[in-house]
């Protein structure tokens, strides 16, 4: 196989997506012939993360070089998060990147291809993305940003895991889970953030009634958080950005709902659901160096390093690239193609279903469509099995890519898509392909698929452990 003059070999392709170009596979082939050094840096809130890589540096390979670095930087930006991109070694590529990373709120016709990325980071950090060409000597010093989090189980605790289709709640007394359940809600269709406040508050008050009193509240949420400040999230995708008061309510929702419990001073800590998925693996299996992936409405990622700390990164892997196919499905939010939310998620199932001959009745929600395919698997339908086998193939090719950016030894797999027989099919197909195509990774990486209950509510349990009671 060949893409932009780079030949690569893939033995196993997704049955329902034979145009898939695994980014990790192509990157490996690209690097095998590249020898011109390039350095990349990402800056965020005084923290700096650097990476060194290679390109070819010749005119005839410029398009391949650009595609490689553009996707590499895109992955870094969404895994780490930041507002300043340093680049050393290639002025021509830096100038082209500057044209793509343009966002003009007053005149959308001036936007570059990566305008969403610029808008997103600006909303999070209140700073516009800059592409800065510097020499190796000018690179800012790398600054570690890892922090210790979670693992507290004393007292009466409520843990919430907020997904796009369901809210999971876990009630704990001194570490013992006395109640857990899923609540269906519809946050992604609501324009008024009061809906989110009212729904979460009601769940917390019911938990308080069951526990008698609440000592701590932990929240796992989709989106980007700075402290407890929910800067951006797909849960609020319909809330108008131009409504400044509505956005203030979005940012402060977790602190405000906590104030409705007890005397209003119950400690609350919120964290990205991806980091909580990794924390779930670390807590329940006594392992560090864990990358957590939650296959839900979208794909959430998180990482616990060898010291058991999180890195303070975005880990917004939903928008990180995994496929180089230029005809790949577009993500409606980020308006980019080949990003993970269309592969390792509920959307991935829905995308593949028609290719397997599975069609949905009008009016079904995405969560209901997923259930349709899961029920067909239970009935032994080969069409539904192909859907989950294709997702398992995606995962097998994506794991080596993720290992380029996260040096994990354990992969924790969670979320609704991995429930039931479909999850077992995904895992088994992934393991088979890893053995055949990536034997080193197959022997080095431990894949963890928890029991059914942990797959559904484990993140709420782990979230409950976030606050320390003083």
Helix (H) or strand (E) holding 291: strand 290-295
Question: CATH assignment of 275-462?
Answer: 3.30.420.40
Place of tokens 């193939």: 393
Percent above pLDDT 90 for the chain? 74
Instruction: Give the pLDDT score at 210.
Output: 97
Helix, strand, coil abundance in the chain, percent, nearest 5:
45, 20, 35
CB 444 within 8 A of CB 19: no
Distance CA 285, CA 275 (A): 15
Which of the 8 DSSP states describes residue 342?
Answer: G
| Pairing assessment for the beta strands 229-232 and 224-226 based on DSSP bridges | antiparallel
Count CB neighbours of 380 within 10 A: 9
| 20: Cα separation from own chain's centroid | 20
Out of 10-24, 211-225, 306-320, 379-393, pick the least confident: 306-320
pLDDT band at 180 (very low <50, low <70, confident <90, very high): very high
> pLDDT tens digits, residue range 138-175?
888 877 767 777 889 999 999 999 988 899 999 999 99
End-to-end CA separation in angstroms for the chain: 59
CA 155 to CA 300: how far, in whole Å? 29
From the number of C-beta atoms within 10 Å of its C-beta (0-12, 13-18, 19+), residue 321 rates as buried
- The yes-or-no answer to whether 156-272 and 275-462 have a common fold is yes
Residues 133-140, mean pLDDT to the nearest whole number? 86
pLDDT of residue 145: 67
CA distance 230 to 249: 10
3 or 276: which leads in pLDDT: 3
CA–CA gap between residue 431 and residue 428 (Å, rounded): 5
CA distances from 34 to 38, 119, 323, 345, 350 (A): 11, 33, 21, 33, 38
pLDDT of 179 above 80: yes
pTM of the model: 0.84
306 — pLDDT class (breaks 50, 70, 90): confident
3-class SS string, 438-468:
CHHHHHHCEEECCCHHHHHHHHHHHHHCCCC
Phi and psi, residue 74, nearest 5°: -60, -45
For residue 452, the model assigns a pLDDT of 58
Average pLDDT score over residue span 372-382: 97
Question: Does the pLDDT at position 428 exceed 90?
Answer: yes
Nearest one of 85, 106, 107 to 96, comparing CA atoms: 85
Instruction: Return d(Cα 413, Cα 292) in angstroms, integer.
Output: 6
Other beta carbons within 10 Å of 227:
11
Query: Which segments of 173-308 does DSSP mark as H helices, in order?
Result: 194-211, 244-251, 253-258, 273-285
The confidence score (pLDDT) of residue 277 equals 78
- The pLDDT assigned to 301 comes to 86
In the three-class reduction of DSSP (H, G, I as helix; E, B as strand; rest coil), residue 43 is classed as strand
pLDDT at 10 over 70: yes
Give φ, ψ of 290 to 5 degrees.
-110, 125
Write the pLDDT tens digit of every residue in 251-286: 999 999 999 999 999 999 998 887 887 888 788 778
74-78, 139-143, 244-248, 434-438: range with lowest mean pLDDT: 139-143
CA 210/CA 203 separation, integer angstroms: 11
- pLDDT at position 357 over 60: yes
pLDDT at position 278: 83
Domain residue ranges of the chain, discontinuous segments joined by +: 34-138, 156-272, 275-462
CATH fold of the domain at 156-272 = Nucleotidyltransferase; domain 5 (3.30.420)
pLDDT at residue number 454:
54
């Amino acid at each position: 196989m060949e893409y932009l003059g780079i030949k690569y070999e893939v033995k196993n392709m997704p049955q329902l997506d034979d145009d898939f170009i695994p980014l990790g596979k192509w990157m490996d082939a690209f690097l095998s012939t590249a020898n011109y050094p390039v350095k990349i840096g990402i800056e965020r809130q005084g923290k700096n993360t650097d990476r060194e890589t290679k390109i070819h540096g010749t005119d005839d390979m410029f398009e391949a070089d650009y595609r490689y670095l553009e996707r590499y930087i895109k992955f870094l930006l969404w895994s780490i998060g930041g507002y300043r991109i340093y680049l050393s070694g290639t002025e021509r590529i830096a100038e082209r990147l500057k044209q793509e990373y343009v966002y003009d709120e007053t005149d959308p016709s001036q936007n570059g291809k990566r305008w969403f990325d610029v808008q997103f980071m600006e909303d999070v950090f209140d700073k516009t993305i800059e592409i800065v060409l510097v020499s190796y000597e000018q690179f800012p010093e790398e600054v570690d940003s890892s922090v210790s989090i979670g693992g507290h189980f004393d007292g009466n605790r409520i843990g919430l895991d907020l997904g796009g289709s369901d809210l999971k709640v876990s009630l704990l007394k001194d570490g013992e889970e006395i109640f857990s359940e899923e609540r269906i809600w519809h946050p992604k269709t609501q324009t008024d953030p009061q809906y989110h406040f009212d729904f979460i508050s009601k769940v917390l008050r019911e938990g308080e009634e069951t526990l008698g009193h609440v000592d701590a509240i932990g929240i796992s949420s989709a989106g980007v958080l700075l402290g407890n400040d929910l800067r951006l999230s797909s849960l609020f995708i319909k809330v108008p950005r131009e409504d400044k008061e509505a956005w203030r309510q979005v940012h402060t929702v977790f602190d405000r709902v906590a104030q409705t419990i007890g005397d209003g001073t119950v400690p609350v800590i919120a964290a990205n659901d991806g980091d909580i998925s990794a924390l779930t693996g670390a807590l329940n299996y006594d392992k560090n160096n864990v990358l957590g992936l939650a296959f839900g409405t979208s794909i959430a990622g998180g990482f616990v390093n060898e010291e058991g700390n999180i890195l303070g990164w975005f880990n917004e892997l939903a928008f990180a690239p995994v496929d180089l196919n230029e005809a790949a499905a577009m993500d409606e939010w980020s308006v980019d193609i080949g990003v993970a939310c269309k592969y390792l998620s509920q959307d991935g199932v829905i995308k593949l279903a028609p290719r397997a001959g599975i069609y949905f009745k009008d009016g079904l929600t995405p969560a209901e469509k997923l259930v349709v395919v899961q029920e067909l698997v239970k009935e032994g339908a080969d069409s539904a099995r192909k859907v989950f086998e294709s997702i398992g193939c995606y995962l097998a090719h994506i794991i080596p890519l993720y290992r380029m950016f996260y040096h994990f030894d354990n992969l924790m797999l969670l979320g609704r898509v991995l429930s039931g027989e479909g999850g077992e099919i995904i895992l088994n197909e992934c393991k088979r392909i890893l053995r055949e195509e990536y034997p080193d990774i197959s022997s080095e990486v431990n894949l963890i698929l928890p029991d059914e209950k942990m797959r559904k509510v484990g993140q709420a349990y782990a979230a409950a452990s976030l606050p320390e009671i003083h």
